[in-house]
Structure 1
Amino acid sequence: MTEPSFLAQLSSTIVEAAAAVAPSIVEIASTRSLATGFVWREGLIITADEALSNEGQILIEFSDGTQHPASVVGRDPSTDIALLRVEGADAPSAVLDQVVPRPGALVVVAAAAESAPLVSFGSAIAVGPAWRSMRGGKIDARIELDVRLRRRAEGGLAISAEGNVFGMAVRGPRGRTLVIPSATVEGAAVLLLAHGEVPRGYLGLGLHQVAVTGGGQGAMVMSVDPDGPGAIGGVLQGDIIVHWNGEAVPSVNALVRTLDHQSIGRSVSLGIRRAGADVEAAVTIATRPRR
């Protein structure tokens, strides 16, 4: 009997990897948008926040063709994760693995379209350390795939050659396909379930980037919440923040991106330029008020 060729074995591996997770994958229809999601826990669906409309009805279609309306539990644009609740559905939860693929590793992206699997195959072309999104979310690893991700496949599962689900596939800047790692997905989903949002740190300061005399950049305080942590720490309107815990402030955006949920409760030392003099202020980061 002839042994299966390498390509036949590879094809079987791809098919089996996609088939194993197919019962947990759903198609999500929201206003003017189609995307993919997956069952996280009983009655709870995770999808890509950017692929979900901001208004209108949300309809979930499961692999068996049944459809159920869903409601939003919470959304976190900073990590591109949305959590939905659906009643009356019976589908297995996806098992998320904390492994991160090595550069060059073969991967499968499994999504859904019209009750059928939508499967892509490629490799992890770049894998790096934790990074922050432009909206300040901490992503536990930078994983880029050479997979072409259709819009309706956004929110699908990224699977290793060993069959482990290592994250959620999303569309990144300039058409890149990125993966939100399982650790980030789990962490954000737990916070969304508990709070309806991912809490963010809060200084109570309105900041504007300025050039500092003598070189470098600073964050000028344009407004101060009188009840906020900045005011309590003695920060005044017109102050220029030039150091954060002894480190130069590269930009206002970089400073704001550090105010994730892990920053809440921490005390930071601010180096301030005030009327030509250098002063220090200690500020304890609070939780950003809900809008």
Structure 2
Amino acid sequence: MPSLRSRALSVALIAAGRRRRFVSAEAVRTRVAESARRPASHLPPRSLGRIAEVSRTFVGAWPVYDVSPRGAEPAARVLFVHGGGYVGELVRQHWSLIRTLVTRAGARVVVPAYVLAPRGTADRTVPVAADLLSGLIAGGGAGGAVLIGDSAGAGLALAAAQRLRDRTGAQPSRIVLISPWLDVSMSHPDQAAIEADDPMLARPGLREAGRLYAGNLSADDPRVSPLRGSFAGLAPLTVFTGTRDLLTTDSRELLRRARADGVEVEFHEEQGLPHGYPLLPVPEGRAARDRIVELIRRAAAEA
């Protein structure tokens, strides 16, 4: 049973019309066109600079933020890949999680503001993300390297890990996926029933966002939909999902396929919780963040 606060938040999300962003292909195209005219900011909040060292470099066209504990040596290294359906920038909830990872886990967090679709397509984006992950793993420093992604960012993170495995065999200490979007075709037969109860997502808009991100690639290409790729040889996985999340089918399929390929999976499916709940100000979200902090500390201790 979800907490009272979680139930109230789901009602608020419905009232606020959060699903309108993905209710149709036209809604997504309109959002993309508006973003082209007036790009959203991906800048970190100024308050973050009061408790952390924040710097920015560029990897090609990507601004990449580096956020580290102020006045202390980082205990671990994290690559965080944000969600937003491949068409949305970093938002307040992402920076709040990053703040938690820095202050509570003592982590250095690398945060790419990757180029969004339709300019940023999987064939261009996945290799750059894999390079960033490779650099974080090979860069040394204290602690282990942990890869974290949410929603579309989880799909990009997993595709990057698969590409790096195929290229060099290297992997982070752990991969953490928050409400992952892993199959942009939106073709799972169970999604129709879940969609009616999802306060945030709808299939038509997600299909269009996935089409824009795929570019010239097929939706079945593992760079676009890493659920279609191999899981063998990947780092241990931790997955968070909720039963009111349209994309929970991707998490369940990942669990089945990854374990079949011999990969360790720690799986958290919360009853009645919506998409991205670990980023939300609800008790279940705090518990998920506590677990992520614990996993990073463990990676630091075991490195």
Verify same fold: TM over 0.5.
Answer: no
Larger fraction in helix: 2
Larger fraction in strand: 1
Question: TM-score category by the smaller chain?
Answer: under 0.3
TM-score when normalising by structure 2: 0.23
TM-score when normalising by structure 1: 0.24
Q: Which has the higher contact order (CA 8 A, sep 6+)?
A: 2
